[in-house]
A = this chain, B = another copy of it.
Amino acid sequence: MPTYKAPLRDIRFVMNELLNFNGHYAALPNGEEAIEVVDAILEEGAKFAENVLTPLNQIGDQQGCTLKDGKVITPEGFKEAYQQYVDGGWPSMTQNPEYGGQGLPHSLGLTLNEMICSSNLAWGMYPGLSHGAMSALEHHGTEELKQTYLTKLVEGRWTGTMCLTEPHCGTDLGLIKTKALPQEDGSFKVTGTKIFISAGEHELSENIVHLVLAKLPDAPEGSKGISLFVIPKFMPDAQGEAGERNAVSCGSLEHKMGIHGNSTCVMNFDNATGFMVGQPNKGLAAMFTMMNAARIGVGIQGQGLIEVSFQNALAYARDRLQMRALSGAKAPEKAADPIIVHPDVRRMLLTQKAFSEGGRALILYTAQLIDLVEAGSDEQKKEADEILGLLTPIVKAFLTEVGFEATNEGLQVFGGHGFIQEWGMEQFVRDARITRLYEGTTGIQALDLLGRKVLMNQGETLRKFTKQIHKYCQAAEAKEGMSQFTQPLAELNKEWGELTMKIGMSAMQNRDEVGAASVDYLMYAGYVLLGYFWAQMAEIAQQKLAEGTNEAAFYQAKLDTAVFYFKRLLPRTKTHATAMTAGVDSLARMDADAFGLGFEI
C-alpha cells in the first residue's frame, strides 16, 4: 500500500523562505491570527491526511460507490473521516465569521488542500465541492440564502455541489435545457438532468446543497440566458434543519477510470424547488466565482498527486535492487544496485520532484493573490485579480498535464509492478487523468489564457507579469551562481512576449490561429512560470549554503533540482515555441470527411 508523509519542510520553505507568508499575513486584515495558527494547522492537517485519509485511499478505489434504492453508499470509512473533518472545524477555517467561519485567509485552506489531494483525492472532493458552493452563495446569495444554506455549509453539516453539465453539453453551457419556472412565492420549480455531478448524492452530510444552472422561460438564447439556483436535497424545516425531501434524486452513478471513491452522479431534477442566486440570466458570471476557485483546486490536485507518487517512487527506487550502474557497482555488497543509481530512474524521480515542488511554489504564490482578492485594499484587489485571472488557467491546465505525466513517471519507476493495483501507483495515474478534463479541459483553459486573458487586452496583463519576471532577472543576475538561471529565464520571458505578439498578429487575420496555438502557448507559459519560481528557490538555496546552515543537504537538493529543471525540463519550451507558431494551416487544411479514409474506404 502506498504511504504519504506531508511535505511540511518543503511547504514551510515555500511559505517562509520563498514567499514570506508572515509578511503577507501581517498586511492582511484577517492575517494576524493566521501567523499564530499556521503551524498548528499544517501539523494537524498533516496528521489528518497521513493517518485518516491515506489509509482510506486504496479502499475507496477498490470499493467505489454504489447506488441502492436511490441512496449512494460511499466506501468504508469515508463517512467517519468526514465526521472527523467536521469535528476538527476544518470546513469553517477560511469562511466568513458572519456565517460561522473562522475567517482565516484562503491560502491556509490551499496548503491543507495539497495534503488532502495527495492522501485521498476522491474523498477530498466531498468537502471540496462545498467550497465552490460557499463561494457562490457568499458572493451572490441573498442574506436569507446565506443564513439558511451558507451557515450549514460552513459548519460542514451540509455539503454542496456544482450542477452544470448536461448530457449534450459541458463546455458549451449556452445549450443547457434545464428549465426553472418561477413560482408565486418567489421560488422556482426546476426540471432537467445534470450529469457528472461529483458528490451529487451520498450520506456523509445531513443535506446536500446543489448549485444548479437552469434557464428561465423567457431567457435569451445561449450563455446570456443562464441563471443560477440553489436546490437542496432536503428542504430546510422551520428550525432550519434538513426537512422534507425535495424532488431531486440520483438517477445513476457513472463507472469511471478513477476517483472511484467519489460518487459521480446523474442528477434528476423533477420540479425540484429552488431559489435564485444572483440576478436572472447572470448565472454564468456567478458560476465563474465557483469555477475559478475550483480551477485552482484542480491544479492543486495535479500537484498533490505528483507529490504522493514521487514519495512512493522514491522509496521503491531506493529499495529495489536491479542491475549494476553502467559506471560500476555502487552497492557491491548487495546482489544488485538499488535502481536509484540509474540515470534514467533519477530523471523520472527528478521530473516528479521538480514539478511537485515548483508547482507548490506556483500554487502558494497564487494563494497569496487569492488572499489579496478576498481581503486586500481596493487597489490590491484589482491588481491581484488581474494576475490571478492570468495564472488560473495555467495553474489548472499546466499542473494537471504535468501531473499526469509525472504520476506516470512514478508508475514507470516501478516497472511492471507499477501496473499492478496493489502497489497503488496506477491509481494515482487514473485519478490524475480526470484533472485534465473537469472544470474545463486543457484545451478550454488554453483558450481562456490566450484568447481571453492575454489577447483580449492586447497583452497588457501579460506585460505586467513578464515585467515582474524581467525585473527579478535583472536584480538576481549578478549574484553568485545565478546567471545559469536568470539568463535562460530572461530570454524565455522576452520570447514569451514576442511569441504572443506574433500569434496576436496572425489572429487578427484568422481567429482560428488562437486555437491552433493555445495549448502549446499554455504549456510554454507554465514552463516559464515554474522557471521563475525555480530560479528564486535556487537563489535562496545558494544564499543559505553560502551563509552556512545545518540543513545543507536540504538546500543543496533544492539547488540541484533547480539545475535539473533548467537543464532537462525548461528546454521543452523550444518545441512548444515552434509548434505554437506553426500556424493553423496544417491543422485546418484537411477536410473533415477525409480524416478517416484510411479505414472508411
Contacts and interface: CB of A to CB of B under 8 A. Distances in A.
A68 interface: no
A272 to B, nearest CB: 23
Query: What is the size category of the interface that chain A forms with chain B?
Result: 35 or more
A571 B564 contact: no
The copy count of this chain in the complex is 2
A582 B441 CA distance: 33
Contact of A344 (B347, B349, B515, B589): B515
B516 A347 contact: yes
Interface stretch (A36-44, A163-171, A472-480): A163-171
A430 B326 contact: no
Interface string A423-439: 00010011001101110
A419 to B, nearest CB: 5
Contact of A419 (B257, B426, B564): B257
Contacts of A598: 7, 9-10, 13, 353, 357, 554, 557
Interface in A222-274: 254-258
Contact of A412 (B5, B338, B437): B437
Given A412-B441, A412-B442, A437-B416, A601 B426 contact: no
29 contacts: A7-B598, A8-B599, A13-B598, A171-B322, A171-B415, A175-B336, A254-B420, A255-B420, A256-B419, A256-B420, A307-B599, A311-B596, A326-B511, A327-B512, A344-B447, A346-B587, A347-B587, A404-B408, A416-B434, A429-B433, A553-B594, A556-B594, A557-B597, A557-B598, A560-B590, A560-B594, A563-B586, A563-B589, A574-B574
Given A196-B416, A347-B587, A571-B575, 10 more contacts: A9-B597, A170-B322, A175-B336, A311-B599, A326-B515, A344-B515, A345-B443, A347-B519, A556-B591, A557-B597
Interface of A: 5-10, 13, 165, 168-172, 175, 196, 254-258, 307, 311, 314, 318, 321-323, 325-328, 335-336, 338, 340-347, 349-350, 353, 357, 404, 408, 411-412, 415-416, 418-422, 426, 429-430, 433-434, 436-438, 441-443, 446-447, 451, 510-512, 514-516, 518-519, 551, 553-554, 556-557, 560-561, 563-564, 567-568, 571-572, 574-575, 578-579, 582-584, 586-601
